[in-house]
Every structure is written in C-alpha cells, then in structure tokens.
Structure 1
C-alpha cells in the first residue's frame, strides 16, 4: 500500500465524493485486508450495499482486491486501499468545468461531514479525546496568499508523515483528523 494516491481522473473524484464511500474507505485500518462482509458489519449496513460501493472504488483504483478465500464453499474477496491517503492532483484543479466543480464540491462536503462527525464524537467525550482547535475570523488575504498558506501546511504535514512512517509501535502517537478550511466570507444579500 502506498502512502499517498494522487487522484488525477474525474471518475476517481466522483467515486470518492459519495459520503458513504468515504465511510467505506475509512473502515480500513492499517495493512489488514477486509472483506465486504467485515465492512458491512462495522457499518451496520447490508452486505449488498457495501459490496456495490466497494466495486465502485475498485473500478477507479482507490481500493484493490488483494486476496480471495474460500469459506464454506463461498469465495470471499478481501480488499485494501491503494494508499493510506487520497489527494486531488493540483493540476486537475485548473480545469474546472461544471461537472468537475460539482464533483469537487460533493467530495469536499463528504470530507467536511466526516470531520464534523468525528469532531462531535470527540466533543461528547472531552476527557477521553483531546482536541486542538484554532479559529481565526475575517483574515484578509489574497487568493494567492491563501494558496501559499495551504501549500505550506500541506508540506509540513507531508514531513510529519515521512518522519513518523516507521513509528507504528509508538504508543504516544494518536490519529488525528486535520482540516484547514479557508472559506471566503460571503455576506447574505439584502432582500429588497
């Protein structure tokens, strides 16, 4: 399994933009292959539904079939993500027609919903989960400065990932979801 898979095709972005597929992707932990049945049990969903979404992710190369095992005369297929992390190619972001924009917006909403769910679960258990929140309101910058900030944070995170690569047994390490969101402030239009 690679560390990062760069999504360069619209079909890949459309596939992962479905919120349920984000849930399926996140069911994989470490390097342990999982079957559709195992993921269905984790999500509390019907096997057929999970299997459909797994096939969609396999078709675009986000998940890979890694093993087939016969259990009670039935072939059970086992999958792994192609990479631990998915990243949208920066060059892809320059060709934004309506179809691409809609897919990107859906992918962003799916990710935001997942981060929100994790945040609220952690907020409900403040003693068990330590949260780090930084919020700045109305920071004035150009789109180029915002892009530069995102790139600097992204490079720093890439450094952290490289440095921690071999530390899987380190008990002081905890997984965190990190989101840096820069949204333009849009003032609602007054009704005339």
Structure 2
C-alpha cells in the first residue's frame, strides 16, 4: 500500500465523492486486508450495499484486490486501499470545468460529513475521560500562497508526529481521527476566491 494516491482521473474523484464510499474507504484500518463482509459487519450495513461500493472503488483503483480465499465453497475477496491518503493532482485542477468542480465539491462535502459524524458520535459518548478537542481560528486574511504554505506546514507537522503511531499493539492507546479543515469564507459584500 502506498502512502499517497494522486488522483488524476475524474472517475476517481466522482467515485470518492459519494459519502458512503468515504465511509467504506475509512473502514479499512492499517494494512490488514478485509472482505466486503468484514467491512459490512464493521459498519452495520448490508453486505450487498457494501460490496457494491467496494466494487465502485475497485474499478477506479482506489481499492485493490489483494487476496481470494475459498470458504464453504464461496470465494471471499479481500481488499486494501491503494494508499492511506488520497489527493487530487494539481495539474488536474488547472483545467477545471463545472463537472470536475462539482465532483471535487461533493468529495469535500462527503469527507466533511464523515468527520462531522465521527465528531458527534464521540461527543455523545463519555469516552471515560479521554480527550476530545476542537480548535477553531477564524477571520484571518491570507493570500493563496500563504494558505498553501500553512497547509503544507500543518501537514508536515501532523505527518511527522504521527509517523510511528500506527502500531495498535502499543500499550494504553485509543483510536483517534485527526482532521484539519481550512475554508475560504464567503461574505455578502465581497466574494473571495481561494
């Protein structure tokens, strides 16, 4: 499994723009192959529904078929994500038409909805005193270059800090989701582009 899959194809972006596919993609943890049945059990969803979305992600190369096992005369297929992180190719963004922009926006919304759902689930549970945090900074004025620089620094810091934190066997650990969101605010008086 690669660290990053650079998406250069509109079909890949459209495939991951479906909110449920973001959830299916996120259900794979680490480098342990999983079947559609295992993912369906983890998500509490029907096998057929999960299998359909896995096939859609497989078709565009976001998931990979890594193993097949015969169990009770049935072939069970095992999958892994092609990479732990998906990014859109910068050159692809230069010739953006309405169809591409709509797909990118939907993918962003789908990812945000997944993050929001995880946050609300966590907020509703006591979690035995485990930390939950949401840090919010607003109304800063940045150039496009400054925003790219900030995103790069945050990504480098998070990646560097989390490098050795994938080991589930370390003592006294819990699973955390870490999300960093930066948005361009739109005001009635001034349309901003970012």
TM band (smaller chain): 0.7 to 0.9
> How far has the Cα of 1:188 moved from its partner?
8.1
TM-superposition CA deviations, 1:147-171 (whole Å, max 9, x none):
221122123233334x426755433
Q: In the aligned structure 2, how far is the partner of 1:36 from the partner of 1:166?
A: 23
For the aligned residues, what is the CA RMSD? Answer: 2.2
- Give the aligned partner of residue 10 of structure 1: 10
1:135 partnered with 2:167: no
- 8 Å contact kept, 2:12–2:60: yes
Q: In the aligned structure 1, how far is the partner of 2:172 from the partner of 2:179?
A: 18
* Structure-to-structure mapping, 1:1-192, within 5 angstroms: 1-128=1-128, 129-161=130-162, 163-164=163-164, 169-171=169-171, 174-187=175-188
Judging changes above 3 Å, is the alpha-carbon distance between structure 1 residues 159 and 80 closer, same or farther for their aligned structure 2 residues? same
Q: Taking structure 2 as the reference length, what is the TM-score of the superposition? A: 0.86
Q: Taking structure 1 as the reference length, what is the TM-score of the superposition? A: 0.86
TM-superposition CA deviations, 1:15-43 (whole Å, max 9, x none):
11111111111111222211111212222
User: How many residues were matched structurally?
Assistant: 188
Q: Is 44-53 or 119-128 further displaced after alignment?
A: 119-128
Judging changes above 3 Å, is the alpha-carbon distance between structure 1 residues 157 and 7 closer, same or farther for their aligned structure 2 residues? farther
- 8 Å contact kept, 1:64–1:80: yes
> How far has the Cα of 1:118 moved from its partner?
1.1
Judging changes above 3 Å, is the alpha-carbon distance between structure 1 residues 122 and 143 closer, same or farther for their aligned structure 2 residues? same
- Which secondary structure does the structure 1 equivalent of 2:179 belong to? coil
